[in-house]
Structures are given as C-alpha cells and as structure tokens.
Amino acid sequence: MAVNLPLPNKDELKPISGLKLGIAEAGIKRANRKDILVIRLVPGSSVSGVFTQNRFCAAPVQLCRAHLLERNPIEALIINTGNANAGTGDEGLRRAQQTCDALASALDISPEQILPFSTGVILEPLPVEKIITAIPKAISALKEDDWYSAAEAIMTTDTQPKAASLTIQTSAGPIVMTGISKGAGMIQPNMATMLGFIGADVNINSDLLQDLTREAADLSFNAITIDGDTSTNDSFIVMATGQSAVSIQSKSDPAYAAFREGLITLSRQLAQMIVRDGEGATKFITIRVKGGKDSVECKRIAKSIAHSPLVKTAFFASDPNLGRILAAIGYAGVGDLDSSKVQLWLGDVWVAKDGGRNPDYKEADGQAVMKHSEISITVDLGRGNVEETVWTCDLSHEYVSINADYRS
C-alpha cells in the first residue's frame, strides 16, 4: 500500500502540444495488461536523457545513449514493461534494434530517431515479435491526452500509476509540463530501477536542456533509495516540443529560472512518488544532512542512513532504536568526521547532542515520532554550511515477499 499517495487525477494531467501517446497490450509477461507505450514527438523537438550507472546497462539503454550522442533528431520513444532486455548480450542489442526498426518503418522515420526503453525481468530474451505485433495498435491509439494510461503502461511492481502536471507562468506565456514515472524496488541512485518521462511545450536549446535534465535528476531521482540496488535500465528523459510561445536559448533568458525551478519541482514529485510506492513501504522518510563541508559527504552520510537495513527495519517496527542511525553516520566513509560535533533529530525531537545521547531525550518522544507514516531525520555535522536531502522508505516483510515472488 503506497504511503500517502493518492491516485493521479486524469483530468489534471495536461496534454502537451506536439506530443502524442499510444498504448497497446503485447502480452509480454502476461495477457490483458497495458505493456507498450509509444510516444510520438513533433519534428524539431529537443530531447535529453540521463541513464543508469550500472555497468550491466540494458541493451535499450545502450541504444538510447548512442542515438542521443549522435545528436539525431529524436521523434519517437517506445517503452515496454515485463522484460528488461538486460544481461542479454549481442542478441539483446539486436532485438532492441529490431524494435527501433519496426517502429521507424511504421512512422516513416529513421531508426536512429527512436529511443527504446525496457523494464522488467533481467536475463530473459526480449519477446520482440510480440512488441512488433503490438506497434500498429499503439500507433493507431496515438493521442495527446492519455497520460494516465501511459503511466499504467510502464508499471512493473508499482501498485499504482505515477503522473503529475505543472504549469509555469512566464512573461512570454505559460509552459505546460506533464510527467510519468515508474519504480517500486531496485531503487538506488545513480539512478534506480525507474523510468521517468517529462514532456514540456517549451522551445529550449538542446544543450541547455541536457544540463537541466542532469541537474534535475541529481536533485530528484538520484536522491531517492528504497533498497540500495542500482538497476540496469534506469532512464530519465525530458522532451521539449517547442510548441509554446516561450523560447529559452540561454541561462540569461527571462523564462530560464522559472523553467528550471518547475522541472526540478516536477522531477522531485515524480521521484518521491516512487519512494511512497516502494515495495512493501509503510513509512516515507526524509533524511536531511546539513553542516557538511561539501555535497559529497552530505550525500554519502544521508545514503548510508537510507541504505541501512537495520535503520529501515527499525522504522518499519516503529522502534526508536536510534543508535543505528549514529552507526550508519559513522561508517559512511567520512574519515575526518568529528563525532563530538554531530547532532541528530528525529522530527522535532533532539536525540543526539554533541555526539552522544541528549540528556533531555526521552524514548517516549522518539516512539511518538516513529509511529507516524511520514518521518524526518536531520543530522548536523557541525563542520560547514552545505546540506543535502535524500528520500527513502522503511523495509518490511512485504518487501521480501514481493521480491521472492517476483517471477511467479
């Protein structure tokens, strides 16, 4: 059950001019479920992406990187769920290329103008024939206003679709943005077993969009973790169709700051949806590490806390065994950390003062916070002015059950 995550309202998901979505059922893993999504972009769109850091990156990720690196004018994306096409070697690449070839032929564009994506079981051959058969159905279903179904079509162990829209007001007019994401397990930056797609109608320089995409990813999808596993297929894509009156060609353009803020806001919203829908999650946890010398050490300590099975299981049990947090701070790898300067809060409760138990801390106060479904942890390192935030969830019995039965 997702943690305080309402279903998206279909009527609030705004269409993006110049971007169409088509959904089909290919029966990749099981019958009678949406598992193919085709996104069609108007010619001249700008597309940027950030991908998994896993060295066993999936075949479609390899093709996406190549097509973007060649600066091909991207006009279509195709996403399948149910099979990751990862750990499949040269044959996997061949099947990913077949997918691009089939969609290119149907749309009368070049295969290099297509970005393919897959998510699902690793080390299994991609049933490319099923995908090719479903492509005409997806194309015939193309329309601008179908983001809810698009979010459903990329789900794996997600319990619900994840989607949101945002309208940014600028002096030149509005910028409309809508995004979808998926992921519930194998979530750990950089990046996670997640797919994220955001469409916007702004006209923006492609190099500038790539820089913004990378920044937005670092502040959102690369700041979440569920279980510490980094997937083979992670992809975060931003598509700008250029159909609005707003043009951003440099950082000095008046609309740049507003678009940047909006992109980061929507990316964080989509990323936090993934954590709230973490496999078996019952708690949504915000970890803020401040007072650091630099961003690297703050992130390292935040992720050390977020990855600790002992910390996560304590939160599931609502057990204020908070010494586990101090232990995770200590082994995070910040060699010159002075533990006597560290402060720790659970919510508003000051737990550890100057590296030891706060004399005024009462376990009943910690227990009261632990019972909440949304909890914040704040750590002050007392050695600088930098801070970073990571979002995570607890680790429950249900997480084990879901992953034990994943291929059943």
Nearest partner of 83 among 136, 47, 40, 30, judged by Cα: 30
The angle that helices 89-107 and 59-69 make with each other, rounded to 10 degrees, is 60
Six-digit token string for 177: 């943005």
- Least Cα distance to 232 among 54, 49, 81, 51 occurs for 54
Residues 29 and 81 sit within 8 Å (Cβ to Cβ): yes
**Residue 341: strand, helix, or coil:** helix
Given the structure tokens 């060295």, which residue do they identify?
55
Task: Show Cβ contacts of residue 393 under 8 Å, excluding neighbours closer than 6 positions.
Answer: 3, 226, 275, 276, 278, 281, 282, 283, 284, 285, 312
Q: Which domains does the chain have, with CATH numbers?
A: 10-276 (3.60.70.12), 284-404 (3.10.20.340)
pLDDT computed for residue 194 by the predictor: 83
Whether the CB-CB separation of 83 and 121 falls below 8 Å is answered with yes
pLDDT recorded at residue 190: 42
Catalytic annotation, pick one of 52, 99, 157, 193:
193
Residue 271 carries which DSSP code? H
pLDDT of residue 225: 82
Q: CA dist 371 to 5, 65, 321, 358, 393, Å?
A: 18, 44, 13, 21, 14
Q: Which residues of the chain have pLDDT under 70?
A: 1, 184-193, 227-232, 406-408
| Torsion angle of C-alpha atoms 385, 390, 396, 401, degrees rounded to 10 | -150
pLDDT at site 227: 62
Residue 193 annotated as catalytic = yes
- Over residues 352-404, the pLDDT tens digits come to 999 999 999 999 999 999 999 999 999 999 999 999 999 999 999 988 887 77
- What is the sign, positive or negative, of the torsion defined by CA atoms of 353, 356, 362, 368? positive
Measured CA to CA in angstroms, residue 106 lies from 109, 184, 213, 261, 349 at distances of 8, 33, 29, 37, 60
> Which residues are CB-neighbours of 223 under 8 A, at least 6 positions away?
189, 271, 299, 388, 389, 390, 391
The pTM for the full model equals 0.93
